[in-house]
Amino acid sequence: MISVIVPIYNAKAYLPQCIDSLIHQTFTDLEILLVNDGSTDGCAAVCEEYRQKDPRVVVLHRENGGLVSARKEGLKAAKGEYIAYVDADDWIEPDMYRSMYRKMTEEKADIVMCGHCEDTGTAVRKVLHGIPEGRYGKQELVREVYPRMIVNNGFFEWGIYGGLWDKLFRKECLEAFQYEVDERITIGEDAACIYPCLLNADSVYVMDECFYHYRQTLSSMVKKIPDRDLEREKFRILYETTDKSLEKYADIFDLRQQWKIYLLFVMLPRAVSLYRGYEKLCFLFPFPKVKKGDRIVLYGAGLFGQRMHHFLKETGFCPVSAWVDRNYVQLRDMGLPVESPEAVPRISFDAIVIANTYERSRKELYGELVRKYPQEKVHMLDETLVFSEESMKAFGLTETDGEKMENNH
C-alpha cells in the first residue's frame, strides 16, 4: 500500500537507524525503496545487507545525481498506492504510517501530514504545523489554509512546513509535481514540490502527533558554499521555476508573494555568502544601524547566528565581543563556543545583534533586551531592507541593471 522512498548519499553513520525504523513499522504493507545515490562511504553494503534481511526492501544503486533525481528515480520504481519520503539521516516512530494511513483512508484525504521532532542528540523539540489539526476540503483550503500556508503570521512563522518527509501522499496527487522539480536545485527542493502539490490537492489532513525525527547536526546546519555564483544561480532557478508552477494555480489562490518571502527567509541566514558585495557594505546586513567595525554581542546561535558568527570571525567585519544564547548548555554540547546571556552586562560592546529570523521570538527577545540595555544598542533585522528591490538584486533573484543591458544585447 505504501512505498517509502529513502534517497541515500554518504549517510552510513545514520542509515541503520533510519532503515530499522522503517522495517519495524506497525503498518507492515510497505515497500522500502533505498536509492543509493552514488555513496562512497559504504552505504551500498548497508543497503544490500537489509535487502537480504527483509523482502520488502528494494535497493536501487545509481551514479550520484543529487537528491531531486534520486527521489524521482524512487518514485518511478514505486509500486505503492501511497508515497512517503524519509531522509537517510533521520528516523520515524513505529506507528507513523499506521496512524497516517488510517487518517488517509478514513478522511479520504489526498495528503496527510504530521508534526516532527528536531533532534540535536542532546535535546528534542517538538514542532507542529501552524494549521490546526483536522481535515480541510477544497473550500477550507482556499479559505483557511492557502492564505497562510507558507507565511503564517509574520516573517517568519510557518503555516505548513515545506518538507516532503512529514507527509503521506496519494501517488497520483504527487507524481506530476515531483517530476517537475528542476534537478539543479539543492536547497528548497522539497518546497518546490509540496506547495504546488498542495494547491492542486482537494483535501488534506493535519495531525498534531510528532512521528518524524529530523536530525540536526552542526555539519548539516552550516555547510560551506564553495561557489557563490553557482549557489545564487540555484536559488534563482528555485525561485523562478516554482513561481511559474504556482502561477498555474493563481486562479485558485495566488501564492507567489508568500513564495518570495519564503525564498528570502531561506537565503537570509546565508546572506554573508549569497549577498553580492556584502563585504563592501558599510553596515552589517540586515542591520542597517550596526556599522562595520562595531563591537557586537551576537545573540542567537541557530542557523542565522552560526553563519553570521563564522563570517564575522573569519573576516573581522565586526568584532564579536560575545556570542550568547539561552540554550548555551545544549549548544556547547554540540561544540559551539556560546556563552550564557548573563555574561552580557560584564562585556563592552557597541551593539547587540539579535540573530533570529522568526518574527514572534525576535520581537519577544527585543522587548526583554531593551528593558535591560539602551534601546539604541539593541538591533533586530530590518524587514523593509530584506524585502527591498536592492536586496532582491543582491541575492540574484532579480536582474541588476547591468545584467538587463547585457541580456538585451
Q: Looking up cell 545515490, which residue turns up?
A: 37
- Residue predicted with more confidence, 118 or 70: 70
* Integer Cα distance of 347 and 273 in angstroms: 29
Write down the pLDDT at residue 228: 85
Between 44 and 224, name the one with better pLDDT: 44
Q: Is the pLDDT of residue 23 over 60?
A: yes
- How confident is the prediction for the chain on average, in pLDDT? 92
Q: How confident is the model at residue 398 (pLDDT cuts 50, 70, 90)?
A: confident
Q: What domains does the chain contain, in order, with CATH numbers?
A: 1-88 (3.90.550.10), 93-274 (no CATH), 275-386 (3.40.50.720)
The Cα–Cα gap between 248 and 139 comes to 18
In a 3-state reduction of DSSP, which class is residue 241?
helix
The yes-or-no verdict on residue 408 having pLDDT over 90 is: no
Mean pLDDT score, 326-347? 91
Share of the chain above pLDDT 90, in %: 78
How far does CA 296 lie from the centroid of its chain? 28
**Position 372, amino acid:** K
Confidence at residue 407, expressed as pLDDT on a 0 to 100 scale:
46
* Cis peptide bond N-terminal to 286, omega within 30: yes
Four-residue CA torsion sign, 138, 141, 144, 147:
negative
Grid coordinates representing 402?
547591468
Calpha distance 171→2 (Å, rounded) = 9
Q: Name beta bridge partners: 113.
A: 167, 206
- The DSSP element (H or E) to which 329 belongs, if any, is helix 328-333
pLDDT, one tens digit per residue, over 340-385 is 999 999 999 999 999 998 888 899 999 999 999 999 999 999 999 9
- In this structure, are residues 161 and 127 in contact, taking their beta carbons and an 8 Å threshold? yes
Nearest to 178 by CA among 381, 3, 395: 3
CA angle 218, 221, 222 (to 5 degrees): 85
Q: Which of 11-25, 206-220, 263-277, 392-406 has the lowest mean pLDDT?
A: 392-406
Instruction: Dump pLDDT digits (tens) for 123-147.
Output: 788 999 999 999 999 999 999 999 9
| pTM confidence score | 0.90
pLDDT digits (tens, 9 = 90+) for 74-96: 999 999 999 999 999 999 999 99
39-42 own/partner pairs: CB under 8 Å, 24+ apart = 39/8, 39/9, 39/10, 39/11, 39/12, 40/10, 41/10, 41/11, 41/12, 42/12
Strands 167-170 vs 111-119: parallel, antiparallel or unpaired: antiparallel
Cβ atoms 281, 290 nearer than 8 A: no
DSSP letter for each residue of 167-178: EEEEHHHHHHHH
Handedness of CA 224, 226, 229, 233 (dihedral sign): negative
Contacts 24+ apart (CB under 8 A), 134-139: 134/205, 134/206, 135/107, 135/109, 135/203, 135/204, 135/205, 136/203, 136/204, 136/205, 136/206, 137/202, 137/203, 138/202, 138/203
Q: What angle do CA 208, 209, 215 make, to 5 degrees?
A: 115
Mean per-residue pLDDT for 289-293?
Answer: 97
Quick one: cell of 405?
Answer: 543591458
The whole-angstrom separation of Cα 196 and Cα 266 is 18
Q: pLDDT tens digits, residue range 218-251?
A: 655 455 667 888 989 999 999 999 999 999 999 9
Please tell me the predicted confidence (pLDDT) of residue 223. Answer: 56
Looking at residue 337, what is its pLDDT?
93
**Can you read off the three cell numbers belonging to residue 269?**
541566514
What is the model's pLDDT at position 405?
38
Q: How many whole angstroms separate alpha carbon 302 and alpha carbon 393?
A: 26
